[in-house]
Amino acid sequence: MKKKGIAVAVFFAFILLASTATIAFNSNPKQAEDLTITNTPMDNFPDELRTKFCETGDAKSNEYVTEFKIPTKCTQPLAITADNDGMIWFGQTNTGKIAKFDPQSKQFTEFDNPSWPQKGRSMFWGMVYTNGDIWYTDDAYNSIWKFSTSDKKYERTNYPTKQDSLPHHIKIYDNQLIINDFYESKISFIDTLQTEQNATYTNIPSPIPGSFTSGFDIDSQGNIWYTNWILRQGGALVKFNYGEFSKFISSSETTNSTTMQFSNIFELPSTLGTPIGLSVDKDDKIWMADTSSSSFFKFDPQNEKFTRYITSDPNPSVYGNVTGVIKLPTSGPYWTQIDNGKLVFNEQIANAIGVFDIGSESLVEYNVPSKNPNWSDCEGRDDCGIAQVFGFVLSGEKIWFTEWVENNIGVIDTSKPLPFDLQVSQTDVTLIKGQSVEIQMQLIPKTNATATIYHKTASQFNDISVQIPTSRLDLTESNIQTIPVSINASDFALPGTYKILLSAKTHDVSVSQFVTVTITV
């Protein structure tokens, strides 16, 4: 296996994995001046980088999140999945191993990979479980791996590349592994029955040369939806009819132009800059996360319209802003999953995980307690930073996730009651420009709590403004609080539909409701 460096500087510059990460992953630790040998995976980093890439402290917990420290130092957990028995499996960037966590016994088990090179490191971004096997992607060695949970054996398949690939996320559909190659602008398919090292792939090329290919999903008709985009230059949402394409390639040779005959291409809105995560809901609506902002989007294939939603801003304790350079803090929605009518996404820069109810358009954001100050503007601040929550998986009412730079896995229990319910008197408002309306926001406390009241609008040019007379409330159980909310359309507001986020936050959780504002002529 020919190793390539872990290419994170370009791809993840906007998510804070900057040049330091590249240096750390591509340098030879033995050449470092300060290297204390511990005979653990920490030895892959010089002493001065160990708190940045390994951990800064013990596992932590709050009202909704419980973290568990991985016994082996500095494994850097990334992709994660769950099996049918509720066991949690995850890949380790810094060891090349698959590990298991038993939620009942709280015990970790790590499985050596005999084929893994000594001191080898790779980003395992995608992972999926099916029929007793765990399939996952391997960035550094251009590979797709299968790990058998029964006999604990690893099998490797080459991922072919022309220049420099990045096998990213992975799904299984109709006995086919589907993988997006982030760098080489393609979607790849391989039959799960092919286990030989040099298997045969079918590739769908990108309609935009030189673009990135990231999140993808399959709708109820078997169409594959994915994004192609160029950083700060726009991109496209692609619908690909793989079923018809499969029939075609079985009887003839294809070219890029014939491949694109099976595609429908929709231009992404200018406000959607880095669409990493993508999921399709039960009604075949497409949901995308914008990693370089605080936004996520819905695309309706029926009317071909995009709708922009926003998250709440990160807590100041996450981004620190000691230098004062951060003027517009962003949450960085990243990967997405949909289950039971809920869109779940990791807010990677906000150190949180969001759960959006698609039907009610309510949003709950759970804060992750562990923080690593080396990834934020935290100089001298305690309880500041992010744990780099990349991978997560849904398992019943639990959301399991990994913390790449804190060496933890964690779980959110979404069945736990929230500190209050948030309701609004109107969720749909229609205005003409220059008009205002007042609605009521109600907080129904389930316990005593202090809440910060917050609002945010998805309008770009102050077409919509919101006024709320209070920013903080001391809540008493069963004592309902009613708050007036004034919504105003500016004199220069353009016709359109806008989303407003009304929120109440505690230290551990944010509870929000979207209000739809339509401005007519």
How do the domains of the chain map onto residue ranges? 420-520
pLDDT at 6: 37
Closest CA to 239 of 258, 257, 253, 219: 219
- Residue type at 408? N
Q: Is residue 371 within 8 Å of 338, Cβ to Cβ?
A: no
Measure Cα distances from 432 to 71, 401, 500 in Å.
Answer: 60, 44, 16
CB 457, CB 435: distance < 8 Å: no
Q: How far apart are CA 439 and CA 86, in angstroms?
A: 44
Cα–Cα distance measured from residue 351 to residue 259, given in angstroms and rounded to the nearest whole number: 40
Contact predicate 427/361, CB 8 Å: yes
Report residue 115 as tokens.
Answer: 């084929």
Stretch (H or E) spanning 171? strand 167-173
pLDDT tens digit string along 85-108? 999 999 999 999 999 999 999 999
Using an 8 Å Cβ cutoff, are 208 and 217 in contact?
A: no
Rg (CA), the chain: 23
DSSP state of 431: E
CA-CA distance, 386 to 284, in Å (whole number)? 33
Helix or strand holding residue 342 (H, E): strand 342-347
Neighbour-count burial for 278-298, b at 16+ CB within 10 Å, e otherwise: bbbbeeebbbbbbbbbbbbbb
**What amino acid occupies position 195?**
T
Are 227 and 268 in contact, with CB atoms under 8 Å apart? yes
Average pLDDT for the chain: 90
The span from the CA of 300 to the CA of 427, in Å, is 20
Strand ranges inside 414-520, DSSP E = 420-424, 428-432, 436-445, 449-457, 464-467, 472-475, 481-489, 496-505, 509-520
Q: How far apart are CA 105 and CA 89, in angstroms?
A: 14
Q: Tell me how far the alpha carbon of residue 272 is from its chain's centroid.
A: 15
The Cα–Cα gap between 59 and 81 comes to 20
The sign of the CA dihedral 441, 444, 450, 451 is negative
* One pLDDT digit (tens) per residue for the chain, 521 residues: 333 433 333 334 333 333 233 334 444 444 456 899 999 999 999 999 999 999 999 999 999 999 999 999 999 999 999 999 999 999 999 999 999 999 999 999 999 999 999 999 999 999 999 999 999 999 999 999 999 999 999 999 999 777 788 999 999 998 899 999 999 989 999 888 766 667 788 888 788 888 999 999 999 999 999 999 998 888 999 999 887 777 766 655 555 555 667 789 999 999 999 999 999 999 999 999 999 999 999 999 999 999 999 999 999 999 999 999 988 899 999 999 999 999 999 999 999 999 999 999 999 999 999 999 999 999 988 889 999 999 999 999 999 999 999 999 999 999 999 999 999 999 999 999 999 999 999 999 999 999 999 999 988 778 999 999 999 999 999 899 999 999 999 999 999 999 999 999 999 999 999 999 999 98
Cα–Cα distance, 390 to 410 (Å, whole number): 12
Backbone angles phi, psi at 464, to 5 degrees: -120, 135
Please say whether the dihedral angle defined by the alpha carbons of residues 136, 137, 141 and 145, taken in this order, is positive or negative.
Answer: positive
Q: Is the dihedral of CA 501, 504, 509, 512 positive or negative?
A: negative
The label of the residue with tokens 């708190």 reads 51
Backbone phi, psi, residue 242, to 5°: -70, -30
The beta-strand segments (E) located in 251-318 are 263-267, 275-280, 286-290, 295-300, 305-310
CATH class label, 420-520: mainly beta
What span, in angstroms and rounded, lies between the C-alpha atoms of 327 and 97?
40
CB half-sphere exposure, 496, CA atoms < 13 A:
17
Q: Name residues whose C-beta falls within 8 Å of residue 78's C-beta, 6 or more positions apart in sequence.
A: 90, 91, 92, 93, 123, 124, 125, 390, 391, 402, 404
Q: What are phi and psi of 389, to 5 degrees?
A: -80, 105
